[in-house]
Amino acid sequence: MSWLATLKTETPEEGFDLAIKLSRMAVKLTQPDDDVRSKLRADYANSADSLTMASQVVALNFQTVAQANRYWSENG
């Protein structure tokens, strides 16, 4: 089974959790080396700009999940 079985969620909180999962998986798939990600974490964890950009990515993914759920509720 795929790690992403569906974009459907029961609640907005589940949708937000899914948005975070989508964002984290994008990073993991872009940089598959665990050691490299661990080394880079200290840099972005202490950068206000990096954290703001990460929040923007999560927000975009949340919009995607919300739009998909709206589509399914209207057309399902």
Tally of structural domains, the chain: 1
Report pTM.
0.88
Domain that holds residue 27: 12-75
Residue 3 lies in a domain: no
Residue 45 lies in a domain: yes
Single-letter amino acid code for the residue at 38: S
Which CB contacts under 8 angstroms, 24+ apart, belong to 51-60?
54/23, 57/23, 57/26, 58/16, 58/19, 58/20, 58/23, 59/19
In whole angstroms, give the CA distance from residue 63 to residue 39. 30
Residue 49 lies in a domain: yes
Token reading at 8: 């459907």
Residue 57 lies in a domain: yes
Residue 18 lies in a domain: yes
List, for residues 45-60, the tens digit of each pLDDT value: 999 999 999 999 999 9
Residue 43 lies in a domain: yes
Residue 7 lies in a domain: no
List, for residues 56-76, the tens digit of each pLDDT value: 999 999 999 999 999 878 886
